[in-house]
Structure 1
């Protein structure tokens, strides 16, 4: 939750909520002019709508669909913005050892769907042919090529965070010096509160929202939190090999300079587990995390002081 200080005289926080990209975006701008703030928010909304159209797989003319239609056939020249986003996605995949991956595979044929049993070896081979390592980028020609015919890519895991980042840049360029963009509970902040203090979150267990255990300053940072629905619903996580319940992450919050990076890193943390995830985060600059396990124990990276 966002922890607000008392507002300075003649300055307020103007808020507006808009449903975009299938979720609620809330804009909180520090201002003394509500009409001006509303105009700035309209600019941010237009930018988010542009990003959605650019990256959507529902847009037949998008670069993503063009890349997917030419999988295994030919490289596709794309706009610089999409190319750079795919490039960053591949870097995150490499950083997380494939736990994050924008590539996926589709069935080679539906002719025998439901009747063919895929052997383990065949499945592993199929996965190896349809992961991020088989996305070929040509920096000079600005092309993207999926090496396997059955490969596809989706930027949905990055889209909302990237759109929020671009909306923030739009607001800053139009003179908004301080604000918060809230994307269904995930926060992107810049500047300071009206009284000159930093933006702050009250950290809490996702299942006990009123029990605050710490405050964390997040000015000029993005905070994305994900929860494990099985653990929130009190369903045990079972080790596939032993058959016994195992300790697991209930919620993870990633703090970094961009909503794109914070959003991309939450999923891999669940897969890697607390120890491996913290080890990875501790090696990186300008990124931190707070994790809560199924025994209500709180873990933080070295950059967080609770």
Structure 2
């Protein structure tokens, strides 16, 4: 999923009120990461940033389905054959993923990786796939076919050829873990921005909250709202560039794992949550569930909010957000 999130504060290497604010941008987990920390001096700041990089790289090795030596790849290789014993960390991540699947009625599903790639969003598709092919494309998708053994810490994919992937939750989890590590090392404030999965803690050196500007999907050069964020995560997901149109219906590249059909109702979602992992997963889910169901689900959850822009450009917010207050 393509993600856009603007930070209203441009951060380079600056010093305010005795705190040194330093930012580094690099590619990790196949995506752009912006890591910003506040420290007493530049040497300390760079040391903390390197700690965060090492932690994110460690997580990538654990959850990557591209690395043949990862535990995730081992689970996939043994699909339909036998359970695979994994580290507690990976087991618990999968366990939480299944809980989110239940919460969203399957709109979020890490077995989406089993889906046949019959939809193309690179301009090469000229005809819509048949109903039969769409149905067949999700034959091996289904979180209920993941079997967890809490005693032995094993994971078993029941169907041969079944796969799991953490594309809709992995970067958020990595941002959470990097934040947690830096806080434990005494870093008072910072931002981990994983291609739109953004996690913050503390405040700017001037004592004010970090501010985020939510992109206007109708005009990416402008923001329609700027909001404060304090010790929270925000994920802004845009779905307005990759799509195909058949019979006057725009099908976006986020596909419902339950049906095989792409989402059609929403073009942008921003989710605010205590953790980036959860915000990441819920942003994907809302695209699939649609505006009404998505808002209803978010309004039932504590400490979680969202902003949705539908295909008509109408802005919808959960009950506790008032974007006009911050415009």
With normalisation by structure 2, the TM-score equals 0.80
Q: 2:68 aligns with which of 60, 70, 73?
A: 60
RMSD: 2.9
Q: 1:139 aligns with which of 131, 141, 150?
A: 150
Provide the residue aligned with 1:300 in structure 2: 317
Alignment of 1:152-171 (within 5 A): 152-171=163-182
1:28 aligned onto 2:36: yes
Provide the residue aligned with 2:292 in structure 1: 275
Q: Deviations over 1:271-298 (max 9, x none)?
A: 1111111001101112111011233211
The residue matched to 2:160 in structure 1 has which SS?
coil
Report the alpha carbon displacement of residue 13 of structure 1 after superposing the two structures with TM. Answer: 1.8
The residue matched to 1:59 in structure 2 has which SS?
coil
1:2 aligned onto 2:14: no
Provide the residue aligned with 1:186 in structure 2: 197
CA distance 1:145–1:299, shift in 2 (3 Å) = same
The residue matched to 2:109 in structure 1 has which SS?
coil
Report the alpha carbon displacement of residue 194 of structure 1 after superposing the two structures with TM. Answer: 1.0
Checking the alignment, whether the CA contact within 8 Å between 1:232 and 1:250 is kept in structure 2 is: no
Alignment of 1:1-306 (within 5 A): 1-4=6-9, 8-104=16-112, 105=114, 120=132, 127=138, 130-230=141-241, 237-238=249-250, 248-306=265-323
Q: How far apart, CA to CA, are the structure 1 residues paired with 2:48 and 2:200?
A: 16
Checking the alignment, whether the CA contact within 8 Å between 1:237 and 1:248 is kept in structure 2 is: no
CA distance 1:130–1:303, shift in 2 (3 Å) = same
Report the alpha carbon displacement of residue 156 of structure 1 after superposing the two structures with TM. Answer: 2.6
Q: How far apart, CA to CA, are the structure 2 residues paired with 1:278 and 1:237?
A: 23
Q: How far apart, CA to CA, are the structure 2 residues paired with 1:118 and 1:274?
A: 26
Report the alpha carbon displacement of residue 106 of structure 1 after superposing the two structures with TM. Answer: 6.8
Between Structure 1 and Structure 2, whose CA radius of gyration is higher? 1
Provide the residue aligned with 1:110 in structure 2: none
Report the alpha carbon displacement of residue 231 of structure 1 after superposing the two structures with TM. Answer: 7.9
The residue matched to 1:18 in structure 2 has which SS?
strand
Q: How far apart, CA to CA, are the structure 2 residues paired with 1:178 and 1:52?
A: 24
Q: Number of matched residues?
A: 290
Checking the alignment, whether the CA contact within 8 Å between 1:250 and 1:293 is kept in structure 2 is: yes
CA distance 1:301–1:137, shift in 2 (3 Å) = same
Gapped regions of structure 2 (runs ≥ 5): 1-5, 117-128, 252-262
Q: How far apart, CA to CA, are the structure 2 residues paired with 1:97 and 1:187?
A: 25
The residue matched to 1:15 in structure 2 has which SS?
strand
Q: Deviations over 1:179-229 (max 9, x none)?
A: 111222432100111121211212341342454443322111111111123
